[in-house]
Structure 1
Amino acid sequence: MKNIILILILFFSLFCSAQKQRFESWKNMADNDISLQPEYGAVKKSEEQIKADNEFKNEVLKKFNSPEEASKKMVETGFGYIYEKGDFMTAMKRFNQAFLFNKNNADIYYGYGTIYFNLGAYEEAREQFNKGLKINPDHSEMLTDYGTTYLGDFYESADKTNASENEKLWTAAENYFNRSLKINNKNSNTIYKLSIVSMYLKKCEQAQKYFKMAQEMGNPNITERFENELKKTCETKK
């Protein structure tokens, strides 16, 4: 189990700096700033705020052909702040600006959920992913990240819950990864995670298949350490 947890850390290594920002601290900031809340907290804005929003939209639309195009660009910018700078505050503001232009852009909710995921707020992340998937149920990246939230739950509570509860988390993750794979079978990240889940659930033939697929696709997480753990787990099963 300890080795499996060490492998799991690979899932979250990209977010180490983000994990330092505790969700409670974020909520305290967001309580005093609606721009840090998804959809601006769904609050009724003042006339002054509405005026500022309209002025902002009019200025931005001078550079784009449509509100949809502007929304898409804001989302791209938001993800840039997450992955290139680790700046979640600015990212949330960009996703909210995207919301001003097109609330039916599924990637906005993917962005909201990604921020919450990085903060370790997995339930809140799923709430946002659910909104996005209602708009675009075939969003493979969002489905994969949705499944990963359950691995986050396991990572944080593996020493506190029983085997049955742990298995429920792994099975939930597997279901979302499989849904994602049906939509996009070229995503090595999804396939890599399926190899981990299959290994934990002792589905050895499946785990080895996904391992080889991810390896052939050049997934950087396919390491000798993981390969040895897979062999050890499946030999134990025999």
Structure 2
Amino acid sequence: MKIKILTILLLSTYISFAQNSNYERWMAMADKDISLQPEYGNVEKTETQKEDDEKFKKDILEHYKGDTNAASKKMSDLGFTYLYDKGDFATAMRRFNQAFMLNPKNADAYYGFGTIFFNLGAMEKAREQYDKGLQIDPKHSKILTDYGTTYLGDYYGSLENGKGNSTELLAKSNEYLEKSLEFNKKDSNTIYKLSIVKMYIGKCKEAKALLKKAKKMNNPNVTESYEKELNEKCK
């Protein structure tokens, strides 16, 4: 899956997202449209909405020959396409909700919900959705990586506002990234982010080894500024 929105560069600017009230504006829209809320807000739908849902399910399941898992996967894949390739959060959320409606046990639906909140700067809300996804699939490496990334985002935020336990945040980030790497040792995105965390917690040898590995894997997110910072902190 391409990383176009959810890059490490976003972490240093997510506080600006919050200051611009993107999350508040999103929630104001979601209050008026349950399709913009994870799991449709868990509210009772109108008869018209129920009829529309049944028509949608009938049409898509005809195409997928009754395979709800395949249909749900298609919807979650479409959600990530709208999110990453088009930056269309609203359509992405609607596709993730359709994936959930077709198969509430599709962990990628919750991964999608959480990723939208992550990009809105709402880290705690993102973790709530990631937790639901991990209850379904505890070995979902992408959820684990982004779960760890939320704590890295909070760490950057603590540097900005001088609040929070930065040591605890880094420890949490390290925990989830390590767990993700345990299940998928070939994800260069996880490896690169773990390198950053290792640098901040003072494990220079590990940070350099991980960076070298990420570069060898041609990770597109590796920046000269990070390499410079690593070399300065780990002389």
- 1:44 corresponding residue in structure 2: 44
Q: Which amino acid aligns with 2:101?
A: L
- 1:97 corresponding residue in structure 2: 98
For 1:149-172, what per-residue CA distance to the aligned partner results, in whole angstroms no more than 9, with x for missing partners? 11111222313235x711111111
- 1:115 corresponding residue in structure 2: 116
2:9 aligns with one of 11, 16, 19: 11
- 1:142 corresponding residue in structure 2: 143
Q: Counterparts of 2:86 and 2:33 in 1: how far apart (Å)?
A: 21
Does the 8 A contact of 1:122 with 1:153 survive in 2? yes
- 2:159 corresponding residue in structure 1: 158
Structure 1 gaps, min length 5: 1-8
- 1:86 corresponding residue in structure 2: 87
- 1:190 corresponding residue in structure 2: 190
For 1:168-207, what per-residue CA distance to the aligned partner results, in whole angstroms no more than 9, with x for missing partners? 1111101000000000010111110111101111111111
- 1:215 corresponding residue in structure 2: 215
- 1:59 corresponding residue in structure 2: 59
Relative to the length of structure 1, the TM-score reads 0.88
Q: Secondary structure at the match of 1:159?
A: helix
Q: Counterparts of 1:10 and 1:73 in 2: how far apart (Å)?
A: 27
For 1:127-170, what per-residue CA distance to the aligned partner results, in whole angstroms no more than 9, with x for missing partners? 000000000000001100011011111222313235x7111111
Identity over aligned pairs, percent:
52
Q: Counterparts of 1:108 and 1:15 in 2: how far apart (Å)?
A: 26
Q: Counterparts of 1:97 and 1:221 in 2: how far apart (Å)?
A: 31
* Larger displacement relative to structure 2 (225-234 or 137-146): 225-234
Does the 8 A contact of 2:8 with 2:193 survive in 1? no
Does the 8 A contact of 1:15 with 1:118 survive in 2? no
Alpha carbons of 1:69 and 1:10: their partners in 2 closer, same or farther (altered >3 Å)? closer
Q: Counterparts of 1:194 and 1:228 in 2: how far apart (Å)?
A: 17
Q: Secondary structure at the match of 2:63?
A: coil
Relative to the length of structure 2, the TM-score reads 0.89
- Pairwise CA distance, 1:48: 2.6
Corresponding pairs, count:
225
Q: Counterparts of 1:53 and 1:225 in 2: how far apart (Å)?
A: 49
Q: Counterparts of 1:14 and 1:77 in 2: how far apart (Å)?
A: 28
Q: Secondary structure at the match of 1:62?
A: helix
- 2:203 corresponding residue in structure 1: 203
C-alpha RMSD of matched pairs (Å) = 2.1
* Larger displacement relative to structure 2 (104-113 or 91-100): 91-100
- Pairwise CA distance, 1:40: 0.3
Q: Counterparts of 2:45 and 2:228 in 1: how far apart (Å)?
A: 56
Does the 8 A contact of 2:89 with 2:116 survive in 1? yes
Q: Counterparts of 1:47 and 1:89 in 2: how far apart (Å)?
A: 23
Q: Which amino acid aligns with 1:22?
A: N
- Pairwise CA distance, 1:14: 11
Does the 8 A contact of 1:195 with 1:208 survive in 2? yes
- Pairwise CA distance, 1:208: 1.2
Q: Counterparts of 1:210 and 1:83 in 2: how far apart (Å)?
A: 26
